[in-house]
Structure 1
């Protein structure tokens, strides 16, 4: 059911996905073609905000902070999975894998490689601050507009 809290959660988590995407781009190797990287992460942030963060509101400030941090963690996990799957698909179209199970396991290996690229303090700090801010804004919207 659409509520103001879900809308605010979707917009704020989308902004977190957008900001973190721009922080990750300089960390990647030179000449990386990003394509829809920023848009996918912003859309994923909107989906996580709408489905997860917007659904768990109205339980107080501590739970709002935890809700925002959980939303940021879900954004990272789903982002790593989707970007890893896309990279695996790109490599599979170039016949880099011998069988389907090798390709499916490569999703997690590629996602782990991407995690090590993004595992720098300023990216984690942006995720933590953005997640807390998103949770608090969503809780405020739930209290304001019932």
Structure 2
């Protein structure tokens, strides 16, 4: 009995908006936007990147709300970990999304002979984009921004309970 009532209340409180979730969403939106602007400098000339920065920023908003904001209130060391985790998830989801996007555009142009060739090509694109992103400004923004964002979420959770 206790476990069932505890699980149902924890699920509903996880969905409730809190100040920490709002601060996390705003902070990691900014981290995603800044990291995307830094990543634009690493892209080859002629790469279509019209929606790159807004898309990465929206991933940051989502991850800031769902990961950093929900994990706030568990202490300052956990805040650092949650912030870094959120930033790394922004990077991985962004790389995966744009690798899949490129694969779908190429498959629409009939560049692949089959399904599995397209899947393996998307994995190659993910790895290629990952190595392109391994410059100091992109990961510097993500890591420092993640630490600051995690601390801001923890401060908001402590200030507005």
TM-score (norm 1): 0.96
Q: Which residue pairs with 1:41 in the alignment?
A: 56
Query: What is the rounded CA distance, in whole Å, between the counterparts of 2:138 and 2:146 in structure 1?
Result: 12
CA apart distance, 1:107: 1.9
**Aligned residues: CA RMSD:** 0.9
Q: 2:79 aligns with which of 61, 64, 68?
A: 64
Gaps of 5+ in 2: 1-15
Select the structure of larger CA radius of gyration: 2
Deviation per residue, 1:74-114 (Å, 9 max, x gap): 11111111011111111111001111122122222111111
What number of residue pairs does the alignment pair up? 146
The answer to whether the Cα contact below 8 Å between 2:36 and 2:138 also exists between their aligned partners in 1 is no
Q: 3-state DSSP class of the match of 2:74?
A: coil
Higher relative contact order (CA 8 A, sep 6+): 1
Q: What is the distance in 2 between the residues matched to 1:10 and 1:2?
A: 11
Unaligned runs of 5+ residues in structure 1 are: none
Shift in Å at residue 65 of structure 1? 0.5
Q: After TM superposition, where is structure 1 displaced by more than 2 Å over at least 4 residues in a row?
A: none
How far did residue 133 of structure 1 move?
A: 0.5
Partner of 2:43: 28
Q: What is residue 115 of structure 2 aligned with on the other side?
A: 100
